[in-house]
Chains A and B, each alone.
Chain A
Amino acid sequence: MSIDTETARKVAHLARIRVEEADLPALAGELSNILTFMEQLNEVDVSEVEPMTSVTPMRLKRRADVVTDGDMQDKVLSNAPDAREGFFAVPKVVE
């Protein structure tokens, strides 16, 4: 599968990464190479193999339904470029 510059532009936009117009062709080429390699892997028949989800046999860790966290508005907001009245303030989003 090959990625054209238009697709590269779209993917960059979806990921909110700014890519200069001049860099798009090179990026498209790199993405194409990665996908080509993936296609090569597809040649291996894995229909009988269960997907590996972890290198060690572990069970998903769980927590009890107890409130143990929160109540730290100051810390949560401390990195915000703009915080007012306990809220994060962001550029107006209009639906």
Chain B
Amino acid sequence: MLDLTFENPKPKVIAGALHDWELVIGMEIHAQVSSNAKLFSGASTGFGAEPNSHVAFVDCAMPGMLPVINEFCIEQAVRTGLGLKAAINLRSAFDRKNYFYPDLPQGYQISQLYHPIVGEGEVLVEMGPGVARLVRIERIHLEQDAGKSIHDMDPNSSFVDFNRTGVALMEIVSRPDIRGPEEAAAYVTKLRQILRYLGTCDGNMQNGNLRADVNVSVCRPGQYERYQATQDFSHLGTRCEIKNMNSMRFIQAAIDYEARRQIAILEDGGSVAQETRLYDPDRNETRSMRSKEEAHDYRYFPDPDLLPLEIEQAWVDGIAATMPELPDAKKARFMGDFGLTDYDANVLTAELDAAGFFEEVAKGRDGKQAANWVINELFGRLNKEGLAIEASPISAAQLGGILDLMAKGEISGKMAKDLFEIVWTEGGDPAEVAAARGMKQVTDTGAIEAAVDEIIAANPAQVEKAKANPKLAGWFVGQVIKATGGKAAPATVNELVNRKLGL
């Protein structure tokens, strides 16, 4: 069982000129569904293609074209809902959200305002060992993405590409349960991790496959607790929505700027206007998106081209039966089965591929040692080379082989690091490589003893010093290992040196 006892993190407090303020944040995450084809057409979702080459006539809204839903996108939304422990609505429906913009050829976005496919769920956001925020999910709905406008190719025109138009998005809406910029980033990180484990969104923020709208308001200490007790929003301040951010750093900077802007207005005796704002990373400020203001009248209505979406409980159960182990469960298992620390378990479960690699190395071996080697040696080396775990030149079996040689006492830790380096660059079976290169530590006490005697006899002055200060015995250990060409087992040398020096 998962240990779900945790303490809530403290909310971020900003000191104003008059008194303290707290932050209240809710987020809408737009996650692109991992699928081959679009939500309502058979065109590809592939990124980086020739402009307007992944466009079906439905996507560019040619007259008479009708949308037909992609069944896999429904499955992905359900899987995501199950991963967030959410209620799945067996009956949902599509609505039209009407507005005009050049990247929206239909003149409306097909979305799910009134009856979303996924209802209330939750995400546990850890902020440190034993400290976590349980962020409530309000809903997840399926909707179409818009196209892409490019403004810098021509001085008088904007260029529009509909390749992204109609690609399926999941909009994941949280309750205002997030209390600071760091928590907001941690929430996005956790959600991204879960989506990647589920395989429902690749989480690539750079390509815009995961984007965040952030609702920020500020309130006096105590007000938020009143809201939580009553769920009455009037206890909270007026919120502003910062649109479309695709970097953790920008999300945090935008929240911080926006909170301070609102505090300055309120302390000046003014009131915050509810509006949509845009974050400008170059100037580190948020600006009102005036063009969006009147467009806010979206005149939603049920899409007459699409029947309600009805799914069967048995189908949902079938998806539930194929759910992978999720990050929280995996982390708890790694800590329980392999004796890992909270920190190591976090690092090793951050990415599914890395977790799988570690597990293969750790299986039947010392878990803590496997964790140290995967985190320090392997990850360190991969980072240095800018490689992902899938591209690791050293396999889990090879790394396991190195650890086995060390566990059997055939090679020392120092030799293991050298062997890792050789296998990394040249490949090969670790045991064979070690044998071919004569990498074998001497554990034969007789041979080591002779070397120890020799060094002690040659250095009487050092012997006196070491007897006075036992810490200096290390010098002898080093000399003996050097004298044996690095092959003497350090543990054996250490023991012999101490005995011979009478320490």
A92 within 8 A of B: yes
Contacts of A58 in B (CB 8 A): 307
Are A65 and B70 interface neighbours, CB within 8 A? yes
The CB with the most chain A CB atoms within 10 A, among B52, B68, B160, B161, is that of B52
Task: Say whether A42 faces chain B, with CB atoms less than 8 Å apart.
Answer: no
In whole angstroms, what is the CA distance A53 to B306 when docked? 9
Q: How far is the CB of A64 from chain B (nearest CB, A)?
A: 6
Q: Is the CB of A92 within 8 A of B310?
A: no
A40-64 Cβ-contact flags toward B at 8 Å (1 or 0): 0000000000000110001111111
Q: How many chain-A residues does the 8 Å CB contact rule pick out?
A: 37
Q: Which of B297-315 contact A (CB under 8 A)?
A: 297, 299, 302, 306-310
Bin the interface of chain B by size.
Answer: 35 or more
Whether, in the assembled complex, A76 has its beta carbon less than 8 Å from a beta carbon of chain B, the answer is yes
Interface string of B279-311 (1 = CB under 8 A from A): 000000000010100100101001000111110
Q: Report A-chain residues with C-beta under 8 Å of the C-beta of B308.
A: 53, 60
B299 / chain A contacts, CB cutoff of 8 Å: 14
B151–A88 touching, CB < 8 Å:
no
CB–CB B60/A76 < 8 A: yes
- Tell me if B229 is interfacial: C-beta within 8 Å of chain A: no
Contact A93 B102 (CB under 8 A): yes
Distance in Å: Cβ of B74 to nearest Cβ of chain A: 8
- A93 near B43 (CB under 8 angstroms)? no
CB proximity of A50 to chain B, nearest CB, Å: 11
Distance in Å: Cβ of A10 to nearest Cβ of chain B: 8
Cβ of B35 < 8 Å from any Cβ of A? yes
Tell me the complex Cα distance, A76–B160, Å: 12
Verify if B278 is at the interface (C-beta below 8 Å from A): yes
Fill in one digit per residue for B429-472: 1 if any A CB lies within 8 Å of its CB, else 0. Answer: 00000000000000000000000000000000000000000000
A36 to chain B, nearest CB (A): 20
Neighbouring B residues of A89 by C-beta, 8 Å = 154, 157-160
> Does more than half of chain B's interface fall in helix, strand or loop, or is it mixed?
loop
> In the complex, which residues of chain B have a beta carbon less than 8 angstroms from the beta carbon of A88?
52, 102, 159-162
- Nearest-neighbor residue (CB-CB) of A64 within chain B: B71
A82 CB, nearest partner CB in chain B, Å: 7
B53 adjacent to chain A (CB < 8 Å): yes
Contacts of B162 in A (CB 8 A): 76, 88
B151:A76 contact, CB within 8 angstroms: no
A87 in contact with B297 given A59-B310, A70-B54, A76-B162 (CB within 8 Å): no
B-facing residues in A55-84 (Cβ within 8 Å): 58-73, 76-77, 82, 84
Provide the bound-state CA to CA distance between A82 and B155, in Å.
15
* 10 interchain residue pairs of minimum CB distance: A65-B72, A68-B42, A69-B42, A87-B159, A70-B43, A69-B56, A86-B51, A62-B71, A60-B307, A88-B160
B residues touching A (Cβ–Cβ < 8 Å)?
Answer: 35-37, 41-44, 50-57, 60, 68-74, 93, 98, 100-102, 149-151, 153-162, 278, 289, 291, 294, 297, 299, 302, 306-310
Name 16 extra pairs, CB < 8 A, besides A60-B307, A86-B51.
Answer: A14-B294, A53-B302, A63-B37, A63-B69, A63-B71, A69-B56, A70-B54, A72-B53, A73-B50, A76-B60, A82-B157, A88-B52, A88-B159, A90-B157, A95-B289, A95-B291
